[in-house]
């Protein structure tokens, strides 16, 4: 069991070394050095671009006045004879349905 534990520690160290080497930290791997504060001052991280909005903005429609009816130029006066004929037609339709 002791041999298995020692083998696992060696395997873990080799995996750590390989990961550091692949990530480009070759100085840390070869010499055992760590990044110093002077080296960090030279490093400037790239700015992330701003992501687009999640949903596009809705187009703005012009508000129509509430009291204007589209397509009607002039209102014609309604006479009582037209209303009487309309009422008679409605009554006849109601009688035929019932």
DSSP string, 18-47: HHHHHTT-HHHHHH-----HHHHHH--PPP
Instruction: Give the model confidence (pLDDT) of 27-63 as tens digits.
Output: 655 555 555 555 555 666 678 788 777 777 777 777 6
pLDDT at residue 52, rounded to an integer: 76
Pair 10, 18: CB distance under 8 Å = no
Residue found by looking up tokens 């009816």 in the block? 69
CA distance 28 to 17: 9
pLDDT at residue 51, rounded to an integer: 79
* Residue 14: band (very low, low, confident or very high) from pLDDT cuts 50, 70, 90: very high
pLDDT at residue 33, rounded to an integer: 56
Residue found by looking up tokens 């809705």 in the block? 58
Q: What is the mean pLDDT of residues 7-24?
A: 88
Pair 4, 13: CB distance under 8 Å = no
């Amino acid at each position: 069991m002791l041999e298995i534990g020692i083998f696992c520690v060696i395997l873990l160290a080799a995996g750590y070394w390989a990961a550091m080497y692949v990530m480009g930290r070759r100085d840390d791997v070869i010499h055992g050095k760590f990044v110093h504060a002077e080296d960090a001052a030279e490093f400037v991280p790239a700015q992330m671009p701003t992501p687009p909005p999640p949903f596009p903005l809705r187009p703005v429609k012009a508000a129509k006045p509430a009291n204007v009816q589209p397509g009607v130029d002039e209102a014609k006066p309604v006479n009582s004879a037209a209303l009487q004929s309309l009422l008679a037609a409605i009554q006849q339709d109601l009688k035929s349905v019932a």
